[in-house]
Amino acid sequence: MDLIFLDFIAEDVVDALTAAGANYTEADVSYYLPETFTTNSYLPVYAKQAPDWQRDVPNCPVGAAV
């Protein structure tokens, strides 16, 4: 079974799994997607395809720049 999480919480995830009785270390953690795939990669694309995404945030400067 795979567990997907953000890399900056890897230590906390491993600690939680260890506390639950699992035998994992941070050496067992690897990237699910390419390390270069970030929110800067997909959020602008999403914003362009979903015009209502900022409906409740009309003054969002990020949306205006997309």
What pLDDT, on the 0 to 100 scale, is given for residue 2?
A: 86
- Each residue of 36-47: b (16+ CB within 10 Å) or e? eeeeeeeeeeeb
Q: How confident is the model at residue 60 (pLDDT cuts 50, 70, 90)?
A: low
Tens-place pLDDT, residues 4-30 = 998 899 999 999 999 999 999 999 999
Please return the burial class of 34, using the count of CB atoms within 10 Å of its CB with bins 0-12, 13-18 and 19+. exposed
Please give the share of the chain, as a percent, with pLDDT higher than 90.
Answer: 41
CA neighbor of 46 nearest in space, from 28, 23, 62:
62
Res. 35: pLDDT tops 90? no
pTM assigned to the model: 0.60
Rounded Cα distance, 56 and 11, in Å = 35
